[in-house]
Copies of this chain bind each other. A is one copy, B any other.
Amino acid sequence: MPNRTPVPAGRTSARRTAPTVDVVLLTPHGRHLSVLLQRVEGGKSKERWALPWEAMRSDETIEETAQRVARGALGGAPALVEQIAAYGDGRRHPSAAPLSVAFLALVAAGAPAPAGGATAWFAIDDVPALAPRQKAMLEGALHAVRSRLEQAPIAFRLLPATFTLSELQEIYEILLGRRLHKASFRRALHAAWLVEPTDEWRSEGRGRPAQLFRYAPKKRRSSRRGVRFEGME
């Protein structure tokens, strides 16, 4: 193990810009997802909006930085913050940093529109031009949400402590970006022993009142399945 020199001597490390931590803040908005962008003050680049980001600090973990960037942009704490990936290809970024670590943050519906015109929510299908690296982060965030949704109870963090099953299903539909069949959703949900009914009911105006449930996962049986070959080409 010879050339283990941490820094290629003489080169640029002293001039290198610190890595950035970028956060993709997503929230349910109506029937779809929206992402939080911040206005970029004039520069030569044509992108006028950007994901919130900040340079990494040596006195914080990147998770802490992500939390702070999210709180700063949102004016409050998001419901969940998770890493997506590091982006260190050559694509352009608002900073000069060669490396960025992207985080996903989910925010419960009805988030207060951040003050001032410098920050705004954009529907996920109608996002303005972003720097290429941040565009990739946004795509990565959507992919991450949809793939982690089945592995971890992240949907429950977007709901209050008690909720109706219709509300839960709607969250799933918004995060997945597609409709689900009511009976199938409930059958799978109950089979997984993730929720338990409370004795309260909520009347939401018209229609039959809905029973309230709470998130209360029971012990799991490890279902030893075979392999699946999905979505390969």
A residues engaging B (CB < 8 A)?
Answer: 1, 4-8, 11-14, 16-20, 38-41, 54-58, 61-63, 83, 85-86, 88-90, 95-99, 101, 118-119, 149-153, 172, 176, 178, 180-181, 184-185, 188-189, 191-192, 194, 217, 219-220, 222-224, 226-233
Contact = CB atoms under 8 A, between A and B. Distances in A.
5 contacts: A4-B41, A61-B90, A62-B88, A188-B229, A223-B230
A7 B55 contact: yes
Contacts of A220: 231-233
Given A7-B17, A151-B231, A232-B194, A62 B217 contact: no
Contacts of A89: 61-63
A178 B230 CA distance: 19
Contacts of A41: 1, 4
A101 B20 CA distance: 13
State the 3 A-B residue pairs at the shortest beta-carbon distance, nearest first: A62-B88, A192-B229, A86-B86
